[in-house]
Chain A
Amino acid sequence: MASSSSTATTEREFLAASPYPVVVLGPDGELLHSSRSARLLLEGPATGGVPPWLRRAQQALADGARPDTVRHTHPVAGPVEAHPVPRPDGSTVWWLVVPEGCAGLLPRTAGDGACDWELLTRLSGLLLSSLNVDRILETVVRQAALHLADAAVVVAPGNGRTLRLVTCLRGGDPAHVQQRADPAEVPGLAEALQGFPPVPSRWIDPDATPRWLVPAGFGRVGSVLVTPLPGHGVPAGALVLLRAAGGGPFASEEEVFARLFATRAGAAVSAAVMYSEQAAVTDLLMRELLPPRLEHLDGVDYAGGYRASVDRDRIGGDFYDVHPAADPGGETLALLGDVSGKGLEAAVMTGKVRNTLHALLPLADDHGRVLNLLNRALLTSHHTRFASLVLASVRREDDRVRVRLSAAGHPAPMVLRADGRVTDSTTLGSIVGVLPEATTCTDTVLLDPGEACLLYSDGITEAKGGPTGREQFGDHRLRQALAQCAGLPAEAIVERIQMLAAQWLRDGRHDDMAVMVIAAPPRGHLPVVGERRGHTT
C-alpha cells in the first residue's frame, strides 16, 4: 500500500493548497481532508468541524440520493453552493462555490450588505491619516458609532485615578470627558485596559452598565461590547460599543469585526502616542537652538531671518543672537555666525558656541579677547568643528547708531547708506577653532537714521541658481539687492534679501542661510516691540 499512501499525501497537499474551498467527507460525514479556504469557511467563529447542513447532505448521498448541488446560506460568507463528486471508496469531494469569491469568506456584518473588507480598508485609511492622539480617538468613536453600534466610547487611561473618555452617538460629534471612575464596574473593561482578551458580549449585563460610560442622551443600553485597543507597548485603551435596547445582541461576526477594527485603531493610537512624545522632546530641544525673534532694542532696530539647508529642519549650522546691554547706555552685543557642517549636529554645535558667547558677555568690550576665548574653547572640545562669525557691539548715540564690528573668518558686513550706497566694512579676522590664536581687526561704523548694517552667512552669496541653475548669487547681487533697500524698515530688508535669494535658488539645493539687519531707525519711526496675541510656531 506504499503507493496509495504516497498518493494520499499528495492528495492532502493538493487539497490543502486549493484556492477554492474543497472538503472530502467520509460516507458518514466525517471530515477526511479539507483545504485551508474551506476550513475558514466551515469553521467560522460560530461553527466547529463539519456544519450540520453539509453532514446531512453527505449522509443523504450515502443513503443513495442522486449527487446534486446543495445550497446553503452561510451567516458570514453568504450563499454557498456545495457540488458533490462521489468517489468509488464511498467518500465524496465537495467543491464549495462562494458566488462573491474569496472576499465572501471573510466576515461581514448583517444589515446593509456592504463588504466588510472594503469598510475595514476605508476605516483603516481614516485611522492612518492622523498622528494626533485626540484626532484618532475621535475618528475611532465616530466611525465605530456609525458602522458598528449605536454609540461608541473609547476609554483610555488618564492621569492617576481618572479615565479619559471619548464618546460619540451615531452620526453625532465626539466629546471628550475626564471621568473619575473605576473601570472594574464594567465587566471586561479593566481587563481590556490591561490587554487581556475580550469578554464575549453576551456575558455583559447591559443593565449593569454604569451611567458614566453611557453618552448623554443615549437611553437604555441593549448590549455592550468591550474590545481592547492593543497598544504595542503603550496603553492605548479600550473600545466600548453600545447598542440601544431592542437593537439585538452583537453577533459573533460583529465581535470579530470589532476586534479587527480595534486592532487597527490601537496601532494608530499607539503610533500617535509615540509620535507626540517624540515631537514634544524634539520641540523642547529645538527651542534652545532656534534663532531668537529680534525686535527694537534700546533705540536700535534688529531683524533676522534664517532658512535651514534642509527645508524640513528649522535648525542648522547658522546662528544669530542679540544680547541686550547689561546696563543702560551700554553696548548691545549682536552676533551672527556659521558652524562647519549642516543639520542637527551642526545645530547642536551652534548651541555650544552661543552658550559660550553668552557666558563671555561681560568681556564683550574686547572683541579680540572674546574670540580668543571662544577659539580656545572650540580647540579643546572633542568636536572637530570650527566656526566663523561676526560680533557687533551696538550703541545708540543721539539719533545715530555706533556699531563696532569684528569678523572672524566671516564675510565682512555690508553697510547701507541713506542714499543707497553700499559699502563693505573693513573688519577682517581668522576663523575660530582651527589656529592656536584667533586674530581680528575691528571696524567701527556710524549709522545715520535710516541706515543699516547687514550681517549675513555665505549661504546667501553662495546660493546656486539663477537662469542657468549653476551661478552663485554672489556678493555683487547681494550688494545690488541691498542698495535698493535704502529707507526700508529692518524687517523689510531681511524679507527682501531672503526673498531674492530664494527666487535665485528656485528649487535648488542650498546651504543654511542667515541674515541680520541692524538699523538706525529713520525719523518718524514706530518701534513695535514683540507680538502680543496669537502665537507663532
Chain B
Amino acid sequence: MSTDTPTTPAPPHPRATGTTALSEGAPAPAARAATLASPPAAGTAAPAASGPAPSLPALVPPPSSPPPSVSVLAGRLWEAVIGGDQVRAAALATGALEAGLEPEALLLDVIGGLQARVGREWAADRITVIQEHAATAVNDRVVALVAGHPAFAAAAARQPDRGRIAVACVDGEWHAFPARLLAEVLMLRGWRVDYLGAQCPTPHLIAHLHRTAPDALALSASLSTRLPAAHAAVTAAQAAGVPVIAGGAAFGPDGRHARLLGADAWAPDARAAAERLARGLPLPATPHQPVDDLPHLADQEYTLVSRSSRELVGAVMAALEREHPAVRSYTPLQRAHTLDDLAHIVEHLAVTLYTGDPELFTAFTGWTREILLARGVPDALLAFSLTVLREQLRDLPRSVAVLTAALSTSAGGAA
C-alpha cells in the first residue's frame, strides 16, 4: 500500500454517492461535489491518468514466463478493471499467480493498490463514483475467483494452524472490500476466518462472538463518521471477552483513533495485521463503558449536535438561501445534494466532538475544499456554511473551537 500513504488522516470525499447522473445516462462527475458552490463547472476535462503508463499488450503471460512486476501487472489490470472487463481481469490475475506471483502480493500490492488508485482517480475527478463502485465489484469478483486458485490453498497449507478470527465491518460501514482483503490474507496465513461482511449490526456481531469465541475480532472501518459505532462494537466485544484489533482508513494513518477507542491493537495494513495477530492479543481488561475512554463526552456537545443535526442543516440551508441568490435558484436536485453535503459536515463535526480530535474536522474540510477545487468550484459557500454553523452553536465551546480552527486553516475562507 505504499502507493497510498496519505500525509494527513485520509479525509472523506464530501459526496460520492451522487444521484446526479439521472436518466440522461451522461454521468456528471462534478455535479455531486459542486452543488455547495454555484453552477457546477461543466465538463472538467479528464487529464490523463497518472501512475505507471499502462502499456496494453493484450496477451496474458504464459505460465512459464516470470511474474510481471507489480507495477506492470497493476497497469494492465487497471485497464481491464476500469473497462469492466472481468474476464481479462481474472485472466491477468490467475496468469500472474501461475507465473509465481505470491497470492498475498497479488491481493495487497496489486489489487489493494488498484483500489487506492480508484480513490485517487475519483478525487481528481477522473472517474465517477459509479466507476468506483463498478471497479470495486470487478475486483471483488476477481478476489473471489483467485482465492479458489490452488496457489492460495498451497500458500495456506505452508502455514501453521492458527486460531480463529472474526472479520467484520462496523455497523453502517459499506466498505467491505478492505475487510475482504484482510480476511483473505488472514486465511493465507493459516487463520480460520469468519467473514461477517459489510455493516454488521453490533448485536449480530456480539452474538457471533459469544457463539464462536474467536481469538480476536478484526474490526474494519473506513468512514470516520462510523467511529462512534466502532467504539460501541469495540467495548461490546471486549466486554464479551474478545480482544479487538482495529484497522481501516477511519482509524487514521497512525491508528490514533484505534488507541483512542481502546482497541487492543491496530495495524496499518493486512500484512502488519497478520504479524500482530500471530504474536497473540492479550485478553481485554475489565469491561468498561465508552464514556470511560472519552471523559470529554460528559459535556454533552456530541449528543447535542448529533441530536439536532437535522435542525442545524435546516438552519444553514435557510441562511444559504437568504444570502446567496445562486442557491435560491438551485434545481430541486442541486438543493437535495446541498442538504446532503450539509448533513455530512454536521456528521463530521459530531464525530470530531466525539473523538475530541479537532484535526479530524480540519482534515475533512480541507479535503472537501480540494475536491471542490478539483472540480473547478469556488469554496466560498463552504466557509459560509461553517460560519453559520458556528453562530448556531455559539454556546458550545468545543464546537466553536473546532469550527474556528477549520475556518482559519482555510486559505481565503469567507469567515
Question: Which A residues form the contact surface with B (CB < 8 A)?
Answer: 122, 125-126, 128-132, 134-135, 139, 272, 275-276, 279, 283, 311-312, 314, 419-422, 466-469, 477, 479-481, 483-489, 491-492, 495-496, 499-500, 502-503, 506, 522, 524-526, 528, 531-537
Residues in A with CB closer than 8 Å to B195 are: 534-536
* A420 contacts B134, C-beta separation under 8 Å: no
Among B98-106, B202-210, B379-387, the one that faces the other chain is: B202-210
In the bound complex, what is the Cα–Cα distance between A289 and B2 (angstroms)?
Answer: 45
Distance (whole angstroms) from the CB of A496 to the closest CB of chain B:
6
* A129 contacts B287, C-beta separation under 8 Å: yes
* B86 contacts A525, C-beta separation under 8 Å: yes
Question: Which B residues form the contact surface with A (CB < 8 A)?
Answer: 17-19, 21-25, 27, 84-90, 130, 133-134, 136-138, 140-142, 144-145, 147-148, 152, 171-172, 174, 183-184, 187, 193-199, 201, 203-204, 207-213, 239-241, 286-287, 310, 313-314, 317, 336, 339-340, 342-343
In the bound complex, what is the Cα–Cα distance between A125 and B238 (angstroms)?
Answer: 12
* B134 contacts A421, C-beta separation under 8 Å: no
* B204 contacts A483, C-beta separation under 8 Å: no
Residues in B with CB closer than 8 Å to A481 are: 19
Distance (whole angstroms) from the CB of B94 to the closest CB of chain A:
11
* Given A131-B240, A524-B85, A503 contacting B17 (CB threshold 8 A): yes
Residues in B with CB closer than 8 Å to A312 are: 201, 203-204
Distance (whole angstroms) from the CB of B31 to the closest CB of chain A:
12
- The number of inter-chain residue pairs (CB within 8 angstroms) is 156
Distance (whole angstroms) from the CB of A292 to the closest CB of chain B:
16
* A534 contacts B194, C-beta separation under 8 Å: yes
* Given A484-B18, A492-B136, A533-B148, A467 contacting B193 (CB threshold 8 A): no
* B85 contacts A488, C-beta separation under 8 Å: no
Indicate which residue in B21, B152, B184, B241 contacts A130 across the interface (CB closer than 8 Å): B241
* A534 contacts B193, C-beta separation under 8 Å: yes
In the bound complex, what is the Cα–Cα distance between A179 and B116 (angstroms)?
Answer: 53
In the bound complex, what is the Cα–Cα distance between A499 and B134 (angstroms)?
Answer: 14
12 contacts between A and B (CB under 8 A): A130-B240, A132-B241, A279-B207, A420-B25, A466-B336, A469-B310, A525-B86, A526-B89, A526-B90, A528-B144, A531-B144, A534-B195
* A484 contacts B21, C-beta separation under 8 Å: yes
Residues in A with CB closer than 8 Å to B194 are: 534-537
In the bound complex, what is the Cα–Cα distance between A205 and B407 (angstroms)?
Answer: 78
Q: Which 5 A-B pairs have the closest CB atoms?
A: A420-B25, A526-B86, A492-B137, A467-B339, A131-B210
Indicate which residue in A420, A466, A495, A502 contacts B21 across the interface (CB closer than 8 Å): A420
In the bound complex, what is the Cα–Cα distance between A130 and B284 (angstroms)?
Answer: 12
* B239 contacts A129, C-beta separation under 8 Å: yes
* B241 contacts A492, C-beta separation under 8 Å: no
In the bound complex, what is the Cα–Cα distance between A380 and B130 (angstroms)?
Answer: 48
* B204 contacts A528, C-beta separation under 8 Å: no
Residues in B with CB closer than 8 Å to A502 are: 172, 174, 199
* B133 contacts A488, C-beta separation under 8 Å: yes
* B286 contacts A480, C-beta separation under 8 Å: no
- The closest CB in chain A to the CB of B335 belongs to A467
* B19 contacts A484, C-beta separation under 8 Å: yes
- The closest CB in chain A to the CB of B26 belongs to A420
* B187 contacts A467, C-beta separation under 8 Å: no
* B25 contacts A486, C-beta separation under 8 Å: yes
In the bound complex, what is the Cα–Cα distance between A473 and B237 (angstroms)?
Answer: 34
In the bound complex, what is the Cα–Cα distance between A421 and B85 (angstroms)?
Answer: 22
* B22 contacts A480, C-beta separation under 8 Å: yes
In the bound complex, what is the Cα–Cα distance between A485 and B19 (angstroms)?
Answer: 10
Can you add 19 more A-B contacts, CB < 8 Å, to A130-B213, A484-B18? A126-B286, A132-B213, A312-B203, A467-B310, A467-B342, A468-B310, A480-B19, A480-B21, A484-B19, A486-B25, A487-B134, A495-B133, A495-B174, A499-B174, A500-B19, A524-B88, A526-B86, A534-B184, A534-B194
